[in-house]
Amino acid sequence: MRQLLVQSRIDGLYAAVLEDGILIDYVSEPREQGQPSSGLGTVVGNVYKGKVVNVLPGMQAAFLDIGLSKNAFLYIDDALHPNIDKREQTSGRDKPLIQNIVRPGQELIVQVMRDPSGGKGARVTTHMSLPGRWLVYMPEADYVGVSRKIDNDSERERLRMLGERLRQPGEGIIIRTAASGVPDLALAEDVAGMRDVWRGIIQKAPDVKAPAELHREPGLVHRAIRDMLTADTDEIWVDDDGVLAQTVALVKEMASGREGIVKRYPENRMFAQFGVDAQAEKAFARTIQLASGGYIVWDETEALTVIDVNTGKYTGGGSLEETLYRTNEEAAEVIARLLRLRDTGGIIIVDFIDMEEESNRQRISQRIESLTRGDRNRCTVVGWTRLGLLELTRKKARLNRRSPGSSTCESCGRER
């Protein structure tokens, strides 16, 4: 059974996906202090009219005032037209200089790619992308892409050809995994809807003075229904009347006829009753116990995440090599799930227990690669380093996730 749960708390909104009782996906969105219930703490996907504050030729970057507490960072690649190679036959070696692209005082329409974190401002781009239910609309990308997770060749070709028919000259479309098997009309309506959103942004821009917000990415409830509701979802539970009405309306809009799976949970301890709180607490701990008796130590720094695998009490029943492999295999399965639950991003180094046989090392890296293939965020298994560490990277945009009821230590900045 697959269940989607949306819980409202004083500090924010939380959504979780359970598959046969196991927590497989989890997102949170904290409310900013002093903001109304709709004012949540992420700006990824928002579109702003910003003003260039300064240009740094040495970094090939510029800083923009978009109305947030810290100026946003715009790198040269994100300032150039997305099709500059096609338009000007430009290679990486003769890329234009940032000072020839933007200048102080210039106003630009930009979209947030990554939330502000620590002492860093938001990262922004001029390459717009507006996610719909079945696809991502890009006003100036000029190509059609189909999710690599759709592995049926005939379906991929159908979607690619449909995308070419639906897009107008210069537009780009990426067909999402959820679009597999979806009728042509639904995709056409999705494109039209996103095109209207973009037109609204363009029409609004000349009438406002920078810095100004032109478009706000929908909140967690909308994103949860858009991204987490799948064909095999059996139930959607919510514990708040306002969220219930919003959820029913969204399901009716995005998956008409399935409104009956939305249910109101009668108590305010829904996550506790479904076991989400307990599973999330374990998932966000520094030390995570494995069912076999082994354990994982998970440390996150500003630069990278380090994961250490240990045998603990597990002694196995066969050879030493077999014991080490089984522990590493179990750890790989847990790590792949926790990368998604914790929304860990950037460079990830895993110190698996040393194994003698190269074939076992390859089996572990292949297992991680297979398990992360279903992740909504791109996860790449780079390979084994000379020191025997497995290196991965995972794309991340939003603020760190946190478990329900957690808080941040004012001294060290760690979640507690």
- How is the chain split into domains, by residue range? 1-42+217-272, 47-127, 285-394
88 pLDDT higher than 80:
no
Give me the pLDDT at residue 230, please: 86
Least confident span in 227-236, 269-278, 404-413: 404-413
Largest CA distance in the chain: 73
Residue 373 has pLDDT above 70, yes or no: yes
How sure is the predictor about 395, in pLDDT bands with cuts at 50, 70 and 90?
Answer: confident
For residue 34, what pLDDT band results from cuts at 50, 70 and 90?
very low
Average pLDDT over residues 187-194: 94
Q: Give me the pLDDT at residue 406, please.
A: 52
Q: Which of 204-208, 224-228, 345-349, 371-375 has the lowest mean pLDDT?
A: 371-375
Residue 410 has pLDDT above 50, yes or no: no
Phi, psi of 258 (to 5 degrees): -110, 15
d(CA 240, CA 51): 40
Instruction: Tell me the pLDDT band of 190, cut-offs 50, 70 and 90.
Output: very high
Checking if the pLDDT of 328 tops 70, the result is yes
- The mean-pLDDT minimum among 260-264, 297-301, 403-407 falls in 403-407
- Give 121-169 pLDDT, tens digit per residue: 899 999 999 999 899 999 999 999 999 888 899 999 999 999 999 999 9
pLDDT at residue 314 is higher than 50: yes
**The pLDDT value given to residue 35:** 38
Res 32: pLDDT: 55
**319 band by pLDDT with thresholds 50, 70 and 90:** confident
CATH 2.40.50.140 fits 47-127, yes or no: yes
Helix axes 241-254, 220-228, angle to 10 degrees: 40
Return the ∠ at Cα 234 (arms to 230 and 237), rounded to 5°. 100
Q: How far apart are CA 373 and CA 394, in angstroms?
A: 11
Tell me, what amino acid is at 351?
D
Confidence class for position 397, pLDDT limits 50, 70, 90: low
Q: How far is CA 112 from CA 24, 38, 94, 213, 356, in A?
A: 27, 19, 27, 11, 46
Tokens of 74: 């715009």
Q: Do 1-42+217-272 and 47-127 have matching folds?
A: no
What's residue 219's pLDDT?
A: 86
Question: Which of 2, 8, 4 minimizes the C-alpha distance to 239?
Answer: 8
pLDDT of residue 36: 33
CATH classification (class only), 1-42+217-272 = alpha beta
pLDDT higher than threshold 50 for residue 202: yes
Spatial strand order of the sheet with 172-175 comes to 130-131, 135-138, 172-175, 144-146
Span of 129-133, 183-187, 398-402 with lowest mean pLDDT: 398-402
Q: Looking at the predicted structure, is the pLDDT value of residue 381 above 90?
A: yes
Among 26-35, 128-137, 224-233, 308-317, name the most confident range.
128-137
pLDDT above 60 (res 403): no
Mean pLDDT, residues 216-220: 88
pLDDT at 127: 95
pLDDT confidence of 293, banded at 50, 70, 90? confident
Please count the other Cβ atoms lying within 10 Å of the Cβ belonging to residue 271. Answer: 25
Percent with pLDDT over 70 in the chain: 88
3-class secondary-structure state, position 193: helix
89 has pLDDT over 50: no
Q: What is the pLDDT of residue 227?
A: 87
Dist. CA 274–CA 18, nearest whole Å = 9
Q: What is the pLDDT of residue 404?
A: 53
Confidence category of residue 77, pLDDT binned at 50, 70, 90: very high
